[in-house]
Amino acid sequence: MQLAVRIRPVRPPATRIRAFTLIELLVVIAIIAILVGLLFPAFKAVQTQARQTQAKNDLTQIVNAVNAFYTEYGKYPVTTADDTPIIPNSTLFDVLRNMTGALQGNTSNPRAIVFISPPYVKNTASPRAGIQSTGTNIGIYYDPWGTPYQVAIDTSYDNQMTNPYGTNGAGPNPLQQGVIAWSFGQDGCLGTKQSGGSCDGIFTNSDDVISWQ
């Protein structure tokens, strides 16, 4: 007589899914917040450096374009008072980019040479990093922070340019330059913006960008 042996299948032990506790979740959130706090200043510093580099490149292009115009025509492209910043600077870029008139070129640039061709701004309502294409400020060239670049030209042709910062850290005064250009930087101020909103006109320790240094 044979006995039938019934073997019961062995069930694996139930697996418990462990969830985060509230304390663990708060610790993770705190760690993420700390990392963001540490990385944000570094990101801002990289962004600021990138904008300053772009501004420096733009200023170099402006100065080179004006000097190229002088080489081509034997004169500068504007007739303003000596060393006075060109306001609005659309006057300058109308000439350099052939933006006026129905045909290429104008009376100041009869050969229709495009000496400089900056990009147009992406947001015309808040222009920055390019030429404004619409509105009353059409043709104005804005820096990466949204302030128009400043350009001054030696229309007396004595190679003596008044330094807009005087002798406050931006080189000698006067400058031995035929054309200079500069950006007010992030604070939009000549020099550093003071607590009352005024500009001190001092280049040292400011965020301004200049073409001659």
Report which residue type is found at 209. V
| Element spanning 150, H or E | strand 150-153
**133: in domain:** yes
In a domain, 136, yes or no: yes
pTM: 0.77
In whole angstroms, give the CA distance from residue 127 to residue 134: 10
Q: How far is CA 153 from CA 24, 87, 161, 212, in A?
A: 64, 12, 8, 13
**Can you read off the two tokens belonging to residue 117?**
């061709």
Tell me if 60 sits within 8 A of 66, measured CB to CB. Answer: no
Number of domains present in the structure of the chain: 1
**Quick check: is 20 in a domain?**
no
Q: Tell whether 24 is covered by a domain.
A: no
CB atoms within 10 A of CB 150: 22
Tell me the pLDDT of the chain (213 aa) as tens digits: 555 556 666 666 656 666 667 787 888 888 888 887 777 776 677 778 889 999 999 999 999 999 999 999 999 988 777 778 888 888 888 888 876 655 556 788 888 888 998 999 999 888 988 999 888 888 899 999 999 999 999 988 988 999 999 999 899 999 999 999 999 999 999 999 988 889 999 999 899 999 998
Q: Which residue has the tokens 């600077």?
A: 89
In-domain check, residue 174: yes
The crossing angle, in degrees rounded to 10, of helices 90-97 and 22-73 is 70
Strand, helix or coil at 31? helix
Q: Which amino acid is at 34?
A: I
156 contacts: CB under 8 Å, gap ≥ 6: 82
Predicted pLDDT at 137: 85
Residue 167 lies inside a defined structural domain of this protein: yes
Count CB atoms within 10 A of the CB of residue 202: 17
- Structural domain range at position 128: 49-210
Which pLDDT does position 110 carry in this prediction? 85
Domain-embedded: residue 74: yes
pLDDT at 136: 81
Retrieve residue 153's tokens.
């030209």
- 18's CB contacts (< 8 A; 6+ apart) are none
Residue 27 is assigned to a structural domain of this protein: no
Question: Positive or negative CA dihedral for 147, 85, 171, 155?
Answer: positive
From residue 200, give the alpha-carbon distance in Å to each of 122, 135, 140, 177: 32, 32, 25, 24
What is the per-residue pLDDT for 94?
A: 84
49 secondary structure, DSSP code? H
* DSSP one-letter string for 73-89: HSS-S---STT-B-SST
